[in-house]
Amino acid sequence: MIVKGKKRGRPSGKSSELSAQVILDKAKSLMRNEKKVPSIRSLASSLNVDAMAIYHYFNNKDALLESITTSLIESIYQPQVNDDWKKALTELCTSYLILLDSYPGLLNTLLSMEGTGPAQVFVERFNILIKALNLSKEAQDNALNLLVDYLHGFALALNCQGDELLLHVDQLTGPLNFYCAALERN
């Protein structure tokens, strides 16, 4: 069987323009435009390669999926240890919601994944911010779970509102101030 215009199998030596980064960039672009994670076939087609060429760089679809989502999540706000924790938490949450709003299929993908790599990025950044509060492990876990559940609900509402735009990311400020006040009292 001959497939016109596509390179079959593994990419060829140094002359190949295909790389893991090229694949990730194209997958993220397709995800943003199509509002869902692209299939291996559609990704390969848009790169003008055979689907098996993708597997040269990623062991399986789950490995590709984790790489895509981790790459996206790593773009959210990176707090510093000595930042004003409330302001930095607002930046972290806002950047996370903007990301989830920009890639509507990302939230469903994150929630359906077995791997924890992408979630760990957010958790590590959250932990940097609240370290100064000296919360117990239980309080810290509860604070994280409450915040993440709220942010995911907010992102879901953003993705479901259609063209009316009744809800927008800057409406996060009031509830987040309330949340921060509760953390300080703990």
Q: Which domain holds residue 42?
A: 20-58
pLDDT of residue 1: 36
Region of residue 75 (phi > 0: left; psi between -120 and 50: alpha; otherwise: beta): alpha
pTM for the whole structure: 0.84
Shared domain check, 140 and 171? yes
96-124 pLDDT tens trace: 999 999 987 889 888 888 878 889 999 99
Q: What is the dihedral of CA 21, 23, 24, 27, to 10 degrees?
A: 160
Shared domain check, 94 and 38? no
Q: How far apart are the first and last CA of the chain?
A: 67
The amino acid sitting at 100 is: L
Shared domain check, 103 and 27? no
- Among 9, 28, 58, the domain boundary falls at 58
Shared domain check, 99 and 46? no
Shared domain check, 124 and 48? no
Q: Angle at CA 54, nearest 5°, toward 68 and 72?
A: 10
Cα–chain center distance at 162: 21
* Calpha distance 39→51 (Å, rounded): 10
pLDDT of residue 5: 47
Q: What is the CATH number of the domain that holds 164?
A: 1.10.357
Q: Confirm whether 115 is domain-assigned.
A: yes
Closest CA to 182 of 152, 146, 154, 129: 146
pLDDT of residue 16: 61
Total domain count, the chain? 2
Shared domain check, 154 and 118? yes
Shared domain check, 85 and 51? no
pLDDT of residue 167: 87
Q: Which two tokens stand for residue 27?
A: 């997958």
Contact assessment for residue 37 and residue 62, using Cβ atoms and an 8 Å cutoff: no
pLDDT of residue 45: 94
Q: Which two tokens stand for residue 162?
A: 């259609």
Shared domain check, 82 and 39? no
pLDDT of residue 28: 94
> Which residues, given as ranges, of the chain have pLDDT below 50?
1-7, 11-15
